[in-house]
Amino acid sequence: MKRPALLPVLAVLLVVAVVPMFGYLKLGTRVGTRTATLKWDDLPIRYFVTDRPAPQVTQQQFQAAITRAFSTWEAVQSAETSSQFVGFTQANPQSGDGMTVLGFTNRPDLDRVLGATNFIIDTTTADIVESDIFFNTAFQWSVDPAGVPGRHDLESIALHEIGHLHGLGHSAIGETELIAGGRRVLGAESVMFPIAFPPGSVNDRTLRADDIAGITDIYPTTASRRERGSISGKVTKNGQGVLGAHIVAFNPATGALVGGFSLNEDGSFTIGGLEPGPQVLRVEPLDDADIDSFFDASLNVDVNFRVRFHDKVVVVPVGGGARDVEIKVTPK
């Protein structure tokens, strides 16, 4: 590294070092012996809305919030997705009816789950045939543009769930704090962070770089295929691969934070949908989160290692990939 570049890089490292991070994750499904990425091959996504209100939210307000959330994803210029509201239905947002339905339903047994996205997938092709999203009326909801204290923002949660519907898994750049008797999300640079902002917040109505990279990775436009790139490599500890490590790419030029996970026993990872240019890489363990929220329980996720920055700046080429990056971590 040339000395003139050192100071800016160190400044970047100091900023990044105090922010816990995740990266985006794509949903996958088994097709025979392989795992395929979930995505809609036939666009637009045609969806219905359950003709049922919740306290403080009418069917029409619900439908309008859902439409805004779809539009937010569709406004990503580097990705190509579309949707179409078909109409209201008496059907519940549940599987097996052949329709993609979004609506309110009461799940008191899932008393900490605000909403959930359900897929029906053709396991022979990995095509998404149907997807449903329910919003739990065990909670209080709001569609007020400024948010309402004590009520969860429907559009924010819808944006997260519709991210799942497009094939994105739980991934985020987020930060939490411990308070007396609970845990609170302080900030998130991804709407796909798996835990919600406190009631009244409307922070998650805006997509961040991590979300944009994720949706671009799944539904790239022709231009973004040419213009965006990726980083791949592996995370190792004592010569062995580290499974479940978070690798976050920080672009000093744009301030974008985009990440991924090492998803194999050999510690290998790939982060796609990146803007070209220099990237600073940081690796951290998933030691404060519910591992089951991210990975299959059969995976032997390693959380016993220290945060580590890669000792070189990695340059993502235009339309290509920076490969064979190895980041060596040490035990705590």
Partner 1 sequence: MPYSRRAVLCFVWCALFAPLDATVLIPAEFREIVNGSDIIASGRVIDTTPEWGDNRKRIDTRVTLQVGTYLKGGPGETVVFKVPGGEIGRFRNVMVGAPVFRTGDEVVVFLTRRTSEEPMVFGLNQGVFRISFDEQTKRRVVVRPAVLARGESPEIVVRGSAARRSVPLETFGAQVQAVLAEGAPRGAR
Residues in 295-314 at the binding interface with partner 1, rule: CB under 8 A: 296-298, 300-301, 303-307
Chain residues 173-192 in contact with partner 1, contact rule CB under 8 A: 175-186
Can you say how many angstroms the Cα of residue 142 is from the centroid of all Cα atoms in its chain? 23
φ, ψ for residue 11, nearest 5 deg = -60, -40
Q: Does 239 bind partner 1 (CB under 8 A)?
A: no
> Which member of 147, 233, 272, 285 binds partner 1 (CB under 8 A)?
285
> Which member of 12, 16, 27, 76 binds partner 1 (CB under 8 A)?
27
Closest separation between CB of residue 38 and partner 1, Å? 7
Chain residues 55-114 in contact with partner 1, contact rule CB under 8 A: 92, 94-96, 108-114
Q: Which residue has the tokens 């890489």?
A: 281
Measured from the CB atom, the residue of 46 and 221 that comes closer to partner 1 is 46
Contact, 152 vs 128, CB < 8 A?
Answer: no
Residue range at the interface with partner 1 (CB under 8 A); choices 40-48, 220-228, 252-260, 289-297: 289-297
Enumerate residues 6+ apart whose C-beta is below 8 A from 309.
13, 16, 17, 280, 281, 282, 283
Q: DSSP per residue over 254-323, as a string? A: T--EEEEE--STT-EEEEEEEPSEEEEEEEE---SS-GGGTS-TTS-----S--EE-SSPEEEPTTSEEE
Q: Does 160 bind partner 1 (CB under 8 A)?
A: yes
How many residues sit in the footprint of partner 1 (CB under 8 A)? 72
Closest separation between CB of residue 6 and partner 1, Å? 24
Tokens encoding 330: 């040490």
Measured from the CB atom, the residue of 60 and 94 that comes closer to partner 1 is 94
**140: exposed, middle or buried (Cβ count in 10 Å: 0-12, 13-18, 19+):** middle
What does the per-residue mask of binding to partner 1 show for 127-146, with x meaning CB under 8 A? Answer: --xx----------------
Closest separation between CB of residue 286 and partner 1, Å? 8
Residue range at the interface with partner 1 (CB under 8 A); choices 39-47, 142-150, 270-278, 282-290: 282-290
Measured from the CB atom, the residue of 186 and 253 that comes closer to partner 1 is 186
Around Cβ 174, how many Cβ atoms within 10 Å?
A: 22
